[in-house]
Structure 1
Amino acid sequence: MQKSVVVLAVLAALAVLSSAARAATDAPAELDLLLRGGTVYTGDSNEPVVGDVGIVGDRIVFAGRKAPAQFSARRTIDATGMVVAPGFIDAHTHANADLHSTDPRKRLNIPFLTQGVTTAVIGNDGFGGFDIAAQTQRLRSAPVGTNVAMYVGFGPVRIDQLGEANRAPTPEQLDAMRQHVSRAMCDGALGLSTGLFYPPQNFSKTEEVIELAKVAARHGGLYDSHIRDESMYNIGLKGSIEEVIRIGHEARLPVHVAHIKALGVDVQGQSGDIIRRIEKERAAGLDITADHYPWTASSTRFSAALVPPWAVDGGREAMLKRFDDAAVQERLRTGMRENLRLRGGPETILFSAGSTKYVGKTLADVAKASSADPVDAAIAVLRDGDLMIASFNQSDEDVRAFMKRPWVMTSSDSSLGHPRAYGTFARKYDQYVVKEHTISLGQFIRSSSSLTADTLGLKQRGHLRPGYYADVVVFDPARYAAKATYTQPALLSEGVVTVLVNGRLAVDAGKPTGVGAGQPLLRTPKAGSCT
């Protein structure tokens, strides 16, 4: 309480005093930390200033100019030659297992902190539980390294009422689903997230999704979606963008396309069409945004990539039975062969996590070793288990095109066996700012911090402003780079020298401190919507 009073007093003094009066005043004020002489990007502009950032407690006192003369600091960090920016916000992660782990080190989220990420969003792709209050309690009782914002996931909501069945909910079941979403929103969820590509979520009709999105809208939330098709699996990439747009219009809420991409040989090159369609809607008033990761390989479960949705109706056990059902073999194998073609063939599928029998090999390698047809080899692998894959299915041109748009923010879509968990933000800077000059440093910082905070409604985050929470990254522009690769995906990034989470040092002199200063970031529901 005493620290908060000090922060408020300092901020009040700065608000009242003119710059001339501040220079003349003799009244000293003590900071907890001063970052001195850095190249400061506040998140408000693509242009930096060389200056200082002063912090008291968990708040920023001033940023982007030289410290007023009356300020002293308990500790000063020389940031000369370094980039000082708002802590990065990862708009789409699957870090929930680590953040809720019983292992204190996993909860620190070190692969994220060492890239400068201070907030991770979880519950994406419709996988987030609707127990937002319980998740919040766990995050508060067991320290975590980064802040955490949460979506309520369509998957658990639907499974609670329908299991993994391919059928529509009854009116009573739909009402129960609405109640789950409403409770989650009242407990602080950002909004509703769906993964309409994944079973059993892909068994839903658009109208079912709209009904639940309306609940999120009533509470002032967002709609976030791994769209139904990023390729030509069913309704196609363009059809899936139209579905998101329809949901936004009919449910009357902001909509967000998760890890936007053009996946597979049939849609590569369509980024221009997708961008024009989205920007037409934005110009007409629809609040539609997206996130992306700077890699040409996606990552998913092998079954999701190759097995047609009808064949996984009922879950893994039902899928395995269909592998032995002579009556469906032609349909099953035709579907799998077509899905493999869409992804570019067996050479583009790299087994990345799961059984060590296959990890590090492509599907082509496995098929060749067993002298088997690729589809037969795929079925044999799936009988052993469902592995994570890296699927090389995008073009650099499409990745760059999406990255340049001012409504596209950075995300990792972090997953096992893919370097994006350890290196997304660092790779985006090193590859696309430094090496290729695809975007500017200011664009990189904005798309990784303030754009994300403002879009998701994370109050007093994402900017270096007086009174805002002190989530800050300091990195060496000559050294900041990803080290993780597709064959060594768990190598920490380099070049981040200081990270503050809520004013506490999470990385100091380039090393994690072991401090768990992260907090759950709960969205405030629309006034009166939860009474």
Structure 2
Amino acid sequence: MGRPVDLLLRGGLLVDGTGAPAREADVAVADGRITVLPAGTPAAAAEVLDVSGRAVAPGFIDVHTHSDALAAPLGDGVPEPADDLRLAPLLQGVTTEICGNCGTSLFPSLPKRLPELAEHLRVTFGIGPVRPAVDFDAFAAGQDPALRHNHIASLVGHGTLRAGVMGFEDRPPRPDELDAMCALLDRALEQGAAGLSTGLIYPPGTYAATEEIVALARVAARHGKPYVTHLRDEMSQVESALEEALEIAERSGAALQVSHHKTAGRHAWGATLRTLPRLERARAAGVDVLCDVYPYTAGSTVLHAMLPPWASEGGVGALLERLGREDVRDRIRADIATGVEGWENTVGNGGWDLIAVAAARSRPEAEGRRVADLAAEQGVDPVDYVCDLLLAERGEVTIISHSMREEDVRRVLAGPLSMIGSDGVPKPGRPHPRWAGSFARVLGHYARDQRLLSLERAVHKMSGLPARRFGLTGRGVVRDGAVADLVVFDPGTVCDRATFERPLLAPEGIGTVVVAGRVAVRDGRPTAARAGEVVRVR
């Protein structure tokens, strides 16, 4: 080579992200870009790292996060979230996060709706008041470079978009409102947002009919960007919800990404035996459909999502006003017992004994404990306990739901259409360990120990496949000229250590992470590098 490169990774096993067999090669980094060299090629470098016996892979891409606000401006006087929440993905090799999932992003909105939207986002992100943005450019400008350890891209959340135009009313949009939503979406996608997401179990997204989503997905299709969906039901009605998603993709022409595909709750256990072949048949018939998955049998979300959708109509303030009324609580109890048409009803499909409190700022003693046990200790009905907790926390409570079966998780992980996403919910308290452990868990537990998939396939699901799906040009594959986002790990020892009791424990076996050509993790410890940027998808 000519002039000295900035960094040389010598002697490693290159797993390049394409799914091709691993091979010995050296990787040089200069000016933030990669050159792949035959093993042992003489090269002068400012820094040489001997990575013999370890794998060199593209930096992992977490396609499903809720980290939108971790480096965004918060309300006056609000303390910044602890840096260990920001570091958790980086320490397991994630160099790019995709946020804005499940219908919630920090943008876009009509200016007049920003105050009401801010209250909704406070409850959703659970780190205090959050400032929403009118468009993607404003979101990008609000990301603090001093807080960005890795890169971030964002989808446009349909729930945010809807609330930013028409508030939290349970009704179809008027034609002018739908036009305004389409215009805001078009502008955000033009500015570099990565696609459109929905969260069809969450108000206000749950109030939208299929026709509304089709109209918006057509905008995404015009930009060549995917429609990414948290299905309307992942439990007893998961198959009909999947059909709705496929219909939206077929009618709009948008590529379909099924978020965190699961079949949860006792009425849906085993349904992956039908949903996965259905996805494969749709793809064979010409629908560009893929999915993502996290490697755990428990999910995590906001507590008020356990309540029927009518409870949240009108926004957070209206929800809190209702929860103090006995007639409202009785109606919630009845709806959980009997169900409501079109509502997922997580508790009715499982029970309060499967729901644990993850984050409740004023009640830390409740964190990590099941709602049924907490209610029994106080001698109250679980619905009363939940309503009182939401009132005490002004709606800002996160939960963990133990609702899945291992065999379903394994099927989705091994399937040909899946990629890896943590669905990380980075909040104080006891967040789900998937935020700190998903990628290491796939590499160690499922690929190496369980032999569910090969090392090359596992890395492909974490890098090349998601980069192609979300249009992340120059990322996800180790090849000449690619962005120098890299991870070096020991295939023989890599493993997750994060648990429900200690959810932010860093993994073992991941030694070096390079972000935009700078070493961000050295010997398993973070450096002072802050090379992360907002990625615009064009």
Aligned to 1:5: none
Aligned to 2:21: 47
Deviation, structure 1 residue 304: 0.3
State how 1:331-480 maps to structure 2 within 5 Å: 331-337=331-337, 339=345, 341-354=347-360, 355-385=363-393, 386=395, 387-415=397-425, 416=427, 417-480=431-494
When residues 105 and 33 of structure 1 are mapped into structure 2, their CA distance, relative to the original with a 3 A threshold, is: farther
Instruction: Say whether the 8 Å CA contact 1:347–1:364 is kept in structure 2.
Output: yes
Instruction: Say whether the 8 Å CA contact 1:506–1:514 is kept in structure 2.
Output: yes
When residues 114 and 329 of structure 1 are mapped into structure 2, their CA distance, relative to the original with a 3 A threshold, is: closer
For 1:177 and 1:522, how far apart are their aligned partners in 2? Answer: 21
For 2:228, the aligned partner's letter is D
Instruction: Say whether the 8 Å CA contact 1:482–1:493 is kept in structure 2.
Output: yes
Deviation, structure 1 residue 392: 0.3
Aligned to 1:13: none
1:111-168, Cα deviation, whole Å (9 max, x unpaired): 1110000000011111111221112223375461111111111122111222111111
For 1:336 and 1:421, how far apart are their aligned partners in 2? Answer: 30
More displaced 10-residue stretch of structure 1: 43-52 or 183-192: 43-52
Instruction: Say whether the 8 Å CA contact 1:108–1:146 is kept in structure 2.
Output: no
Question: Which of 206, 214, 236 is matched with 1:210 structurally?
Answer: 214
Deviation, structure 1 residue 325: 4.8
Aligned to 1:312: 312
**Is 1:134 aligned to 2:144, yes or no?**
no
Deviation, structure 1 residue 106: 3.6
Question: Highest CA radius of gyration, 1 or 2?
Answer: 1
For 1:138 and 1:193, how far apart are their aligned partners in 2? Answer: 21
Task: Provide the aligned length of Structure 1 versus Structure 2.
Answer: 492
Deviation, structure 1 residue 50: 2.0
For 2:203, the aligned partner's letter is P
More displaced 10-residue stretch of structure 1: 99-108 or 482-491: 99-108
When residues 142 and 341 of structure 1 are mapped into structure 2, their CA distance, relative to the original with a 3 A threshold, is: closer
1:183-210, Cα deviation, whole Å (9 max, x unpaired): 1011001111111110011001110111
When residues 105 and 59 of structure 1 are mapped into structure 2, their CA distance, relative to the original with a 3 A threshold, is: farther
For 1:426 and 1:318, how far apart are their aligned partners in 2? Answer: 42
Aligned to 1:22: none
Name the SS for the 1:459 alignment partner.
coil
More displaced 10-residue stretch of structure 1: 99-108 or 291-300: 99-108
Deviation, structure 1 residue 370: 1.7
When residues 326 and 78 of structure 1 are mapped into structure 2, their CA distance, relative to the original with a 3 A threshold, is: closer
When residues 369 and 47 of structure 1 are mapped into structure 2, their CA distance, relative to the original with a 3 A threshold, is: same
Instruction: Say whether the 8 Å CA contact 1:39–1:80 is kept in structure 2.
Output: yes
Aligned to 2:31: 57
Name the SS for the 2:102 alignment partner.
helix
Aligned to 2:299: 298
Aligned to 1:121: 98
Aligned to 1:169: 173
Question: Which of 38, 57, 81 is matched with 1:85 structurally?
Answer: 57
Deviation, structure 1 residue 343: 4.2
Deviation, structure 1 residue 341: 4.8
Q: TM-score, normalised by structure 1?
A: 0.88
For 1:330 and 1:155, how far apart are their aligned partners in 2? Answer: 28
Unmatched runs of 5 consecutive residues or more in structure 1: 1-9, 11-27, 525-531
Instruction: Say whether the 8 Å CA contact 1:99–1:108 is kept in structure 2.
Output: no
Aligned to 2:527: 513
For 1:51 and 1:177, how far apart are their aligned partners in 2? Answer: 49
For 2:294 and 2:195, how far apart are their aligned partners in 1? Answer: 21
Deviation, structure 1 residue 374: 2.9
Instruction: Say whether the 8 Å CA contact 2:73–2:143 is kept in structure 1.
Output: no
For 2:488 and 2:73, how far apart are their aligned partners in 1? Answer: 28
Instruction: Say whether the 8 Å CA contact 2:85–2:504 is kept in structure 1.
Output: no
Deviation, structure 1 residue 182: 0.8
State the identity as a percent: 38
Name the SS for the 2:457 alignment partner.
helix
**Is 1:522 aligned to 2:494, yes or no?**
no
For 2:4 and 2:318, how far apart are their aligned partners in 1? Answer: 65
Name the SS for the 1:175 alignment partner.
helix
Q: TM-score, normalised by structure 2?
A: 0.87
Deviation, structure 1 residue 402: 0.4
**Is 1:260 aligned to 2:266, yes or no?**
no
Aligned to 2:245: 244
Name the SS for the 1:490 alignment partner.
coil
Deviation, structure 1 residue 46: 4.2
Aligned to 2:39: 66
Instruction: Say whether the 8 Å CA contact 1:155–1:194 is kept in structure 2.
Output: yes
For 2:324 and 2:86, how far apart are their aligned partners in 1? Answer: 42
For 2:163, the aligned partner's letter is I
Instruction: Say whether the 8 Å CA contact 1:101–1:107 is kept in structure 2.
Output: no
When residues 276 and 441 of structure 1 are mapped into structure 2, their CA distance, relative to the original with a 3 A threshold, is: same
**Is 1:112 aligned to 2:84, yes or no?**
no
For 1:55 and 1:266, how far apart are their aligned partners in 2? Answer: 51
Question: Which of 140, 145, 148 is matched with 1:144 structurally?
Answer: 148
Instruction: Say whether the 8 Å CA contact 1:223–1:256 is kept in structure 2.
Output: yes
For 2:45 and 2:298, how far apart are their aligned partners in 1? Answer: 46
Q: RMSD value over aligned CA atoms?
A: 2.0
Deviation, structure 1 residue 340: 5.6
Deviation, structure 1 residue 476: 1.9
For 2:85 and 2:332, how far apart are their aligned partners in 1? Answer: 43
For 1:455 and 1:215, how far apart are their aligned partners in 2? Answer: 17
Name the SS for the 1:72 alignment partner.
coil
Deviation, structure 1 residue 324: 5.1
1:453-476, Cα deviation, whole Å (9 max, x unpaired): 011110011000001111100012
Instruction: Say whether the 8 Å CA contact 2:62–2:422 is kept in structure 1.
Output: yes
For 1:310, the aligned partner's letter is W
Deviation, structure 1 residue 45: 2.8
Aligned to 1:224: 228
